[in-house]
Amino acid sequence: MGTFLQGTQGVLIILIMIAVGYVLAERGWFDKKTSKMIAKLVTQIALPAYMISTITSDFSSKELIELLPNLRFPFFSMFILFAISFFAVKIFAVPRNHSGLFKSMFCNSNTVFIGLPVNMALFGEQSLPYVLVYYMANTTFFWTLGVYLIQTDGDCGAKINVKQTMGKIFSPPLLGFIAGVALVLMHIKLPNFIMSDFNYIGNLTIPLSMIFIGIAIHSAGLRKLRLGKDNIGILVGRFIAAPALMTLLVLPTPIPTLMKEVFILQSAMPVMTNAPVVSELYHADSDYAAVMVTETTLLSLIEIPILMAIF
């Protein structure tokens, strides 16, 4: 019961911040330009600073070196989910015009805007390196195979632009992570005033992420929510298949218990907020993607305390 209450309280922290974003959007404080600005501020400024500040402050070179081999767990999980998604398309009678988008959303998690703050609220800063390991695998998978799958639904043809893909994979958050790791491994200490700046700016990450999600939910519109077969298929993939598969992969291993919990929780996060943006870019079904981001985000607020109680 204590674990369930802990999970519930952690989700309530997140829910209140999301509600702030939703209510302010309802009152006209934010528009699409503001939403894009917040997303850029989080991903390109606040989150990289947060990575550098936390990694250099809380982790040793030995701890970081031991982390990297654990990338295999999220990678294995996503590739198996990718294989399962082909069967799910048939089982849930997914329309052909968004079957690629369905497969992409079935496999990938929202590891930053939801996953990071949820794990920080539930487990504290000691969970950060495990969150980042999952983030590295998830980001690589989405901006390669995930984007390719979405392109197959559009009218632009499916292809992978290596330069653009590498730019997306080596995004500012990942570069911040790499910079933090490099500083620790080389035993370099930045001046205190710079670290203080990184810390202050990095602290914007979680509240702005949650406000962004609230705005996104408002923009998608609660009236558009529905439970068709293809919607249920994504819910099954995100909230049942993904955490069950990750549980089977990590439970028999000797990795730390906290890493197991973080990986299971990260695997069960909602659909990536990038999915509607990429769908719009390649003329796929962006409305379907936006609805699934909203539905999975709202339902994750119910699922997370349940997972905490189970695991």
Give residue limits of the domains in the chain: 2-310
pLDDT score, position 167: 62
d(CA 52, CA 178): 8
Residues 271, 296 contacting (CB under 8 angstroms): yes
Both tokens of residue 50? 């947060």
pLDDT at 57: 78
The pLDDT of residue 237 is 92
Indicate the fold that domain 2-310 takes in CATH. Na+/H+ antiporter like fold (1.20.1530)
What pTM, to 2 d.p., does this model score?
0.76
Low-confidence ranges of the chain (pLDDT < 70): 1-11, 58, 154-171, 220, 222, 224, 281, 311
Residue 56 to residue 173: CA distance in whole angstroms: 15
pLDDT of 264 reads: 92
The predicted structure's pLDDT at residue 80: 94
